[in-house]
Amino acid sequence: MLTEDPHVAEQRARERGLEIEWGPDRLLRTRYYVSAFEYFAPLDRNLLYASVADDGMWFDTWPKVMHLPYDRRPLKLTFGDLTEMTREEKRLFVDVYDRFGIPIDWNKGDVAIVCNYRFAHGRPGIHLEDGEERELGVLLGETFERVGDLDDKW
């Protein structure tokens, strides 16, 4: 929250629509609840809008986070009743992405643009050989207000 003042941190979190809770060691836990689906007007239907990037497993290879136990990592995927997904359920979620993904046959110098609304996306891990380098870039568009899923758009 870019502050050392706990009151300012609380205020900034609430302004962003986050629920807050103070934990041990002055750890400010924030929660944001939203549907795993988002209405997409051009297709006039709800689309899956969640991924493992919304869960602590996303940080399995992040050096400053991977050593933390799951209950101390940022982000948790839950079901609508707030029950946390088990590791097996998360694995199934990842497997669905993996089985139904569309691979991109990359060549040196290629650029791919993926619409976040229409396609859940990810990529396999990158394993470089000695002396190899790789540069990845990400372009982010305008932010938008989530509307969640619409009851009549399934």
CA-closest candidate to residue 28, choices 48, 47, 52, 12: 12
CB 21 within 8 A of CB 15: no
Strand 28-31 versus strand 19-22 pairing type: antiparallel
- pLDDT at residue 52, as a whole number: 83
Cα angle: 82, vertex 100, 136; to 5 degrees: 90
Per-10-residue mean pLDDT, the chain, length 154 = 95 94 87 90 91 86 88 86 91 86 83 78 78 82 86 97
- pLDDT at residue 136, as a whole number: 76
Is the entire prediction scored with pTM above 0.75?
A: no
Distance CA 149, CA 154 (A): 9
- pLDDT at residue 149, as a whole number: 95
- pLDDT at residue 114, as a whole number: 79
